[in-house]
Structure 1
């Protein structure tokens, strides 16, 4: 019997989103994972939740053997049925901008996994959270553009990551996943994967563009200044999209092998997929310098810096710009220790020319 995967990752929300627009990032990550899976494991049975006919047509064209499931995250019965059918559910968070991740969808998936699986045939749930949860302490203290205050650790400090305050980004759905993976550990194995800032071109059929760094390049290209939030010393972790995809592949292969390690699943199954880190101010300066070198800025003078307040950042590029003033740092050691995951693709700094080039092409400047 073929291994069955339900990818609850392509839906478009029924309501418009705030500026962060995580639905695009969601499709970006999901598309890259499916690109690799479909080639490496063509014998698997795949089902993908898709909200719009337009996206459905693109998925069908790229992957004729994928069963498209038209629906939304509000279709609880559908989600429950598909989760019961699948051996593994891959689901991304919905909307990080206001921390309103779709909790009812998560509960429907949990119910379906419990209903459709047994100890002899366990179900697996790979849920994508995000290290946006780590910005909680900056936001609650109204700190923007300041140096980092603390570094988390997903190996020695995993209990801290699984016990954030309820109002933190993603926490409402994290709790549902953790509860399912502990209360029903004999039949459902859960893992929460938390990527930080993602960069690199995605290989999926719907969206190949990430957000934070690409919006920074857009501001530099269109407004002609270096955007700095506060002191510019806020720091975040990062990961190349193809390295992130490999983390999912390793977890799926662990599921295939029947790996039931409590270090990967359940109460301790909280894995930060970070391979590097960057400071937002220096990154903006590097990006602006590369933009000048490529001849994409008008005028002969040097590009000036513009220091933004929290309100100006939101007005300039929504939550993406605000994130340039937030800290999110965590030692992502669990994936490496237990699955041998490591960076194999260019660093964010090395990728800067490619980010500028791709954004310039998207804007019609190249």
Structure 2
């Protein structure tokens, strides 16, 4: 039974929490991480974790390290092709079958490039079982499509030696457990833009605000990761791999208008804005936001689109039962935490 694991993105919000979850639940695993810089508390907190120095462009290091382990958990930059290809090349050097668990995201099914439902509810809810053919046929410009295609092609060519799983979480909330970034970005970015609105700041929506996104607490997402890593280490075919290795992780949905109303109440209570009532803004105004992020259509994606998914596969295979508090139950704590750093 193999137990050597190579993990990337170990100081990120998701990757750091995955590392913590794996080492906490299975201290017997031999874990190696790729780090460009080592956080001050990292070695004392994870004394048994081996560190290799490098970044996502350290191709030889990534390939060699992947060739020495049984399982790679690839987090961080979901769209970085060279690092993914290096991992696959390394795993294929091995004489025995190996496993790759890759972090993607439900941005792949977001409708932000189609004006039909911007600011309104799109009735389509994507299933990670029933809609696999449609997902694998999405246009090449869909978010994360480039790396998901690389994984699918590798699994199709080398399915006897390379077992793959794509974990595709929706928007996340809750406090991460790693030594690097410990919170997600959508809620802080939303109230950050709200504070900039005229008249002392206002929360906002576009259209009728019923555009809806799926969400999951970081702790609930970890239950899927721990199950998948355990299945990979034990070479358990009970998990889905390859063509059947696609995992959404959604636990709930929230519309933009509901998020705006709840955020407005909290920000007014904290004295950040004076008027809690959401205002309707134009799509053009939405497009003018978050210019500093330098990512095409990022504000349209975050504040005007729909991205609705169901975690059917995790439910069927693992009995996935999200138990963490909902986004609305933790929203005030998440906002207060982010305000402390603002």
Match of 2:335 among 339, 349, 356: 356
Contact 2:112 2:304 in 1 (8 A): no
Aligned pair 1:89/2:62, yes or no?
no
- Match of 1:124, SS? strand
CA shift, 1:312, in A, is: 2.9
Higher mean alpha-carbon deviation, 303-312 vs 61-70, is at: 303-312
Q: CA RMSD for the aligned pairs? A: 2.2
Distance of 2:53 and 2:313 partners within structure 1: 35
Match of 1:41 among 21, 26, 34: 26
Contact 2:2 2:233 in 1 (8 A): no
Contact 1:125 1:190 in 2 (8 A): yes
Contact 2:212 2:256 in 1 (8 A): yes
Aligned pair 1:156/2:141, yes or no?
no
Aligned pair 1:73/2:52, yes or no?
no
Q: TM-score, normalised by structure 2?
A: 0.90
- The 5 Å alignment of 1:273-284 reads 273-284=249-260
- Match of 1:105, SS? helix
Distance of 2:285 and 2:60 partners within structure 1: 43
Match of 1:341 among 306, 312, 320: 320
Structure 2 equivalent of residue 133 of structure 1: 108
Structure 2 equivalent of residue 168 of structure 1: 142
Distance of 1:28 and 1:93 partners within structure 2: 9
Distance of 2:24 and 2:10 partners within structure 1: 19
Contact 2:2 2:234 in 1 (8 A): no
- Structure 2: stretches of 5+ with no match in the other structure: none
Structure 1 equivalent of residue 278 of structure 2: 305
| 1:175-219, Cα deviation, whole Å (9 max, x unpaired) | 111122222111111000000010001111001010112222334
Shift of the 347–117 alpha-carbon distance from structure 1 to 2, 3 Å rule, reads: farther
CA shift, 1:227, in A, is: 2.0
> How many pairs does the alignment contain?
333
Shift of the 105–295 alpha-carbon distance from structure 1 to 2, 3 Å rule, reads: closer
Contact 1:56 1:68 in 2 (8 A): no
Match of 2:83 among 105, 108, 122: 105
Contact 2:249 2:310 in 1 (8 A): no
- Match of 2:165, SS? strand
Distance of 1:295 and 1:93 partners within structure 2: 33
Distance of 2:76 and 2:156 partners within structure 1: 20
Distance of 1:276 and 1:29 partners within structure 2: 18
| 1:257-277, Cα deviation, whole Å (9 max, x unpaired) | 32124x610012111011111
Contact 2:191 2:203 in 1 (8 A): no
Match of 2:214 among 229, 233, 237: 237
Structure 2 equivalent of residue 16 of structure 1: none
Contact 2:34 2:55 in 1 (8 A): yes
- The 5 Å alignment of 1:252-291 reads 252-261=229-238, 264-291=240-267
- Match of 1:150, SS? coil
CA shift, 1:108, in A, is: 1.2
Shift of the 78–225 alpha-carbon distance from structure 1 to 2, 3 Å rule, reads: same
- Match of 2:73, SS? strand
Shift of the 253–2 alpha-carbon distance from structure 1 to 2, 3 Å rule, reads: closer
